Structure 1
Amino acid sequence: MTNTSSTRTTEGDTQVRRRGRLYRVMRYIPLVAPVLLWAVPCWVLLYTGQHWPLPVLLLGTALFVLGLIGMPLAMARGHGRRQQDWAAIIGDTLLGTSWILFTWSVLLGVLLRLALTIAGVGDSEDQARTVTWAVLGVSALMVGWGYIEARRVPRVRRLDVQLPRLGAGLDGLRVVLITDTHYGPLDRARWSARVCERVNTLEADLVCHTGDIADGTAQRRRAQAAPLGTVQATRARVYVTGNHEYYSEAQGWVDLMGELGWEPLRNRHLLLERGGDTLVVAGVDDVTAENSGLAGHGAHLAGALSGADPELPVLLLAHQPKFVDRAAADGIDLQLSGHTHGGQIWPFHHLVRLDQPALAGLSHHGARTLLYTSRGTGFWGPPFRVFAPSEITLLVLRSPHAATSPGTDQAHTSA
């Protein structure tokens, strides 16, 4: 496998710069973000020339102040040491709602007002009220639609992916990817069962879960995760840890997945053989494991590939797309990842791009490495998905050595 010092240096510098930008932004977000998320909509909706009656102004202001105070308190109570699900639901919902209100207050508060001014429609108060009702209407629509999108069973996204080193005997191998199920405060046991039922209609040879199973310990979320034990695959079901496992007793999740019949690929691999050809299926712990303090946990690609024939094609499971820098340096053929959620609530994807080399879909890295990044099967925190639909992914691996092989990198969505 290819491995040059110059490639490692260049890709390492890129990763350091990317992390540096993210950390500079993230340092101030906890202090500034809550204020902006509530203050900007409050100003746009109430104080930009609408001349509301005093009771409306006072009530509206009180609601925004209540949101500003209540959201961080509820999130701290729900996601902090107490782990109270009711508080997490309230805090997460307020977070998502405030983000949507903020986004459309900024966009419509500037663009719509500018359009009305250019068109000469109404005086300043008429324009202000038009903007207010437009922001409220669009935000309500996004909240309702986003909630439905988050709670539905994901559609199946199918891709044919050609791997140059894949043997003809493995042509047509069906790999199903689910990830970021994030079982959490909202009980999704029924949703989980329906997801697994849909996976079982895909006749997978290999089913992969690339981490972030849940928010909470395995004991606490066991009922929601239990349907994963019903998933069917003709060859194997494999799993790697995500960063959220390391917030909630990662080893417990590794043990539970093993109990449910999944093979935890913790810096190790298995061989998948068919038609006289072999595929190395490897997995690594999430990169956050290195600082988790858990003995034996950490992302070690060399350990994952130890003993594997370097001439064989490799399918690698790694939770975060950013691991592709290491994968490409070692000439991995295909990496499967999740983590990004496709941004989950637009336009949050711009912040995700500061930390990750890919947001969603298939991308090329290095001389031969392909990365597929799933938008995720579930949702984290706010129960909304806006312009970032969830997915169950079916990847059909294609060999250039097969008698007939469809074109590569083709994608379409099926029901």
Structure 2
Amino acid sequence: MTDTGEARSADESTREARETRETQETQQSRLRVLMRYIPLIAPVLLWTVPCWVLLYAGQHWPLPVTLVGTALFALGLIGMPLAMMRGHGRRQQDRAAIVGDILLGTSWVLFTWSVLLGVLPLVVLAVAGAGDGQNRSRIVTCAVLGVSAVLLAWGYAEAHRVPRVRNVDVHLPRLGAGLDGTRVVLITDTHYGPLDRARWSARVCERVNTLDADLVCHTGDIADGTAERRRAQAEPLGTVRATRARVYVTGNHEYYSQAQGWVDLMDELGWEPLRNRHLLLERGGDTLVVAGVDDVTAESSGLAGHRAHLAGALHGADPDLPVLLLAHQPKFIDRAAAGGVDLQLSGHTHGGQIWPFHHLVRIDQPALAGLSRHGARTLLYTSRGTGFWGPPFRVFAPSEITLLVLRSPQRS
């Protein structure tokens, strides 16, 4: 009877594992299909939907207004992809990248609020009998333009400010009493890029240095561009202070821009690149394993020796010691949980960066931001990121510098 029950339990576990794997494969397949067509469909939708809502949904604007407005949207539709290709493609022209990124962010905000405000208010106003159709349509136009302008101005300021410090207590059952109160500062996704943010970088590092960190972590996506090209913006990272260690792992964007150059530069600046390896942090007679893995895209980059290898990162570590793991993408959490990791620190998601893009991020990642539990032991902290990628805006997804204070159940 016991053998039968154990066999049934094993079968159920196998079935659940298979179903989970099939679900993940289905989600990944959908994402691949979506990503294949996005470059073709997205620009058309981003510019034609706002064009229709603002100019052709019953407003009856004077002909010059309609013609000028249509011309501007047509220029955006043509200019944005061209600027993005020249700026982020092989030519790497920073001025073109800036133009393309601003157009991308602007069109996304206009598209979002054209969809949200271009239908529902018209229905509500029609039911309420508030004026004729032309007046209703012009009210919608003013609302969309007003909301978009405010959000873009606010989002620009949010993206360029020194991030607020987010304080998080993390309770780890296996953490020794001597390690209670260990202060871990996390920065990630700085994305130094076409806009020169050397002063911003220095101010971020100054803020980090006020936090009295034992350990400072950078979980990748330092920049968009090679280490040689973005060196001036990254150099302030060399001023960061920690009483125990400064550690770094690669993100996916390093693999677009000669990742080994970034590994070498971070090493030169005094950071410890944890490329599938670990170090030991000792405090109060107790020890914490601090491990790191290359980004999950590393192996497909073709760079020799670059891959995400958890077993290599933990090789030689005492399995009874608690493990803090740095991995750029939250999706590595399945492997981390299977490997007995206590806490994984990640970035990559930007918290969506410009709402409601977070819905697309959730298709690809198991967490968007904050602390989450995965399995019986493993916790994941996902940062919204310290900088921004591409469009210089953050809307309803503020950047952060994270101070994680590790807590032991044995503390006095």
TM-score by structure 1 length? 0.95
Q: Does 1:364 align with 2:373?
A: yes
The answer (yes or no) to whether the contact 1:11–1:325 under 8 Å persists in 2 is no
Q: Does 1:244 align with 2:253?
A: yes
Q: Match of 2:402?
A: 393
Q: Match of 2:345?
A: 336
The answer (yes or no) to whether the contact 1:8–1:329 under 8 Å persists in 2 is no
Task: Tell me the CA shift for residue 330 of structure 1.
Answer: 1.1
Ranked by relative contact order (alpha carbons within 8 Å, sequence separation 6 or more), the top structure is 1
The one-character-per-residue Cα deviations of 1:100-119 (angstroms, maximum 9, x if unpaired) are 00000000001211221122
Q: Distance in 1 between matches of 2:110 and 2:217?
A: 36
Secondary structure of the residue aligned to 1:157 is strand
Q: Does 1:294 align with 2:294?
A: no
Distance verdict in 2 for CA 1:107–1:337, change over 3 Å: same
Correspondence for 1:30 among 28, 39, 42: 39
Correspondence for 2:124 among 112, 115, 129: 115
Task: Tell me the CA shift for residue 14 of structure 1.
Answer: 4.3
Q: Match of 1:315?
A: 324
Q: Distance in 2 between matches of 1:14 and 1:48?
A: 41
Identity level (%): 82
Q: Distance in 2 between matches of 1:281 and 1:157?
A: 21
Q: Does 1:171 align with 2:163?
A: no
Q: Does 1:60 align with 2:69?
A: yes
Q: Does 1:181 align with 2:186?
A: no
The residue identity in structure 1 corresponding to 2:133 is: S
Q: Match of 1:373?
A: 382
Q: Match of 1:407?
A: none
Distance verdict in 2 for CA 1:172–1:187, change over 3 Å: same
Distance verdict in 2 for CA 1:33–1:79, change over 3 Å: same
Q: Match of 1:268?
A: 277
Secondary structure of the residue aligned to 1:49 is coil
Q: Does 1:148 align with 2:157?
A: yes
Q: Match of 2:27?
A: 18
Q: Distance in 2 between matches of 1:172 and 1:11?
A: 37
Distance verdict in 2 for CA 1:33–1:239, change over 3 Å: same
The one-character-per-residue Cα deviations of 1:320-363 (angstroms, maximum 9, x if unpaired) are 00000100111210000000000000000000000000000000
The answer (yes or no) to whether the contact 1:12–1:325 under 8 Å persists in 2 is no
The runs of 5 or more residues in structure 1 that have no matched partner are 404-415
The one-character-per-residue Cα deviations of 1:56-89 (angstroms, maximum 9, x if unpaired) are 1110000000000000000000011110000000
Task: Tell me the CA shift for residue 15 of structure 1.
Answer: 3.2
Correspondence for 1:101 among 103, 110, 120: 110
Q: Match of 1:230?
A: 239
The one-character-per-residue Cα deviations of 1:5-48 (angstroms, maximum 9, x if unpaired) are 95875654443233122112112111110000000000000001
Q: Distance in 2 between matches of 1:14 and 1:367?
A: 21
The residue identity in structure 1 corresponding to 2:201 is: S
Q: Distance in 2 between matches of 1:332 and 1:229?
A: 29
The residue identity in structure 2 corresponding to 1:19 is: Q
Q: Match of 1:47?
A: 56
TM-score by structure 2 length? 0.95
Task: Tell me the CA shift for residue 268 of structure 1.
Answer: 0.2
Q: Match of 1:136?
A: 145
The runs of 5 or more residues in structure 2 that have no matched partner are 1-9
The residue identity in structure 1 corresponding to 2:260 is: Q
The residue identity in structure 2 corresponding to 1:209 is: H
The answer (yes or no) to whether the contact 1:331–1:367 under 8 Å persists in 2 is no
Q: Distance in 2 between matches of 1:62 and 1:163?
A: 58
The residue identity in structure 1 corresponding to 2:253 is: H
Q: Distance in 1 between matches of 2:291 and 2:266?
A: 17
Correspondence for 1:71 among 63, 80, 83: 80
The one-character-per-residue Cα deviations of 1:240-292 (angstroms, maximum 9, x if unpaired) are 00000000000000000000000000000000011111000000000000100
Secondary structure of the residue aligned to 1:83 is coil
The one-character-per-residue Cα deviations of 1:343-394 (angstroms, maximum 9, x if unpaired) are 0000000000000000000000011100000000000000000000000000
Q: Match of 2:264?
A: 255
Moved more, 61-70 or 4-13: 4-13
RMSD: 1.2
Task: Tell me the CA shift for residue 400 of structure 1.
Answer: 0.1
Q: Does 1:211 align with 2:220?
A: yes
Q: Distance in 2 between matches of 1:11 and 1:104?
A: 36
The residue identity in structure 1 corresponding to 2:98 is: I
The answer (yes or no) to whether the contact 1:197–1:231 under 8 Å persists in 2 is yes
Secondary structure of the residue aligned to 1:50 is coil
Secondary structure of the residue aligned to 1:316 is strand
Q: Distance in 1 between matches of 2:256 and 2:235?
A: 20
Q: Match of 1:90?
A: 99
Q: Distance in 1 between matches of 2:291 and 2:18?
A: 24
Q: Distance in 2 between matches of 1:84 and 1:233?
A: 36
Task: Tell me the CA shift for residue 180 of structure 1.
Answer: 0.1
The residue identity in structure 2 corresponding to 1:287 is: V
